[in-house]
Amino acid sequence: MGVILQILGLVITFTMAMEALRRFGIDVGWLNPLTFFHRRAWRKKVSTPPLYALDHPVDVVAVLALATVQTTGAITTAQKAGVQSLLQQHLQMNESDAANLWVASAHLLRSRALALSELPDVLARSADKFTDYHVQTLQAVMRAAADIEPPINDAQRKLLDAVDAYFAKRKAASGPWSSANPG
């Protein structure tokens, strides 16, 4: 019983000391562990660029299809229509959804080419949700987007190879001897 009273006394003393410091204008809110972890999670969420926060394979397919055609420079109307058609065909979208996804992807890339060094960051949050079918669809859409205005340029080939290498590396890492595969 004495230990419980001592702990209760310490909690009350600590609370009173914190209140006294607050009255004197000293901010001790950072000592609260609940708000500390909440602020840390919020800071991480806010500081992550939206392009790196994509967590659904459909969004990633659209962004990488757009990135594939952006490597040629300015996007032509034929490329835009071709990518929207590919999104409709491979992702079973209607025309307005494909157009909205195009606009969202264009906003995320902000009219700049996607650097190969950014690819792991773009794929990181959604990679676990990619099944073999999703990976095949992504590769098919990217290759078809590169073929809209042939021939495939070097930057497009590097982007396609980088996506292939990324998923091959993930598949090898989840092999039979890895810790990620418990069976």
The CATH number of residue 109's host domain is 1.10.3680
Give me the domain span that covers residue 65.
51-173
pLDDT at 59: 92
Q: Is the pLDDT of residue 180 over 60?
A: no
Residue type, 96: S
The better pLDDT of the pair 183, 94 is held by 94
Q: Say if 29 falls within a structural domain.
A: no
pLDDT for position 176: 64
Banded pLDDT at 183 (limits 50, 70, 90): very low
Averaged pLDDT score across all residues of the chain: 86
Q: Please, are residues 135 and 170 in contact by the beta-carbon 8 Å criterion?
A: no
111 falls within a domain: yes
pLDDT given for residue 179 in this prediction: 52
In a domain, 161, yes or no: yes
The DSSP 8-state label assigned to residue 159 in this structure reads H
- Give the mean pLDDT of 136-143: 92
CA distance 19 to 180: 48
Taking a C-beta distance cutoff of 8 angstroms, is the pair 106, 44 a contact?
no
Residue 152 lies in a domain: yes
The Cα–Cα gap between 110 and 123 comes to 18
Helix (H) or strand (E) holding 52: none
Residue 81 lies in a domain: yes
* Separation of alpha carbons 70 and 41, rounded Å: 33
Considering the domain boundaries, does residue 143 fall inside one?
A: yes
What is d(CA 179, CA 183) in angstroms, rounded to the nearest whole number?
9
CA 148 – CA 85 distance, rounded (Å): 11
pLDDT digits (tens, 9 = 90+) for 64-107: 999 999 887 788 889 999 999 999 999 889 999 999 999 999 99
Higher-pLDDT residue of 179, 122: 122
Domain count for the chain:
1
**5-48: pLDDT as tens digits:** 999 999 899 888 888 888 888 877 767 677 778 888 888 888 88
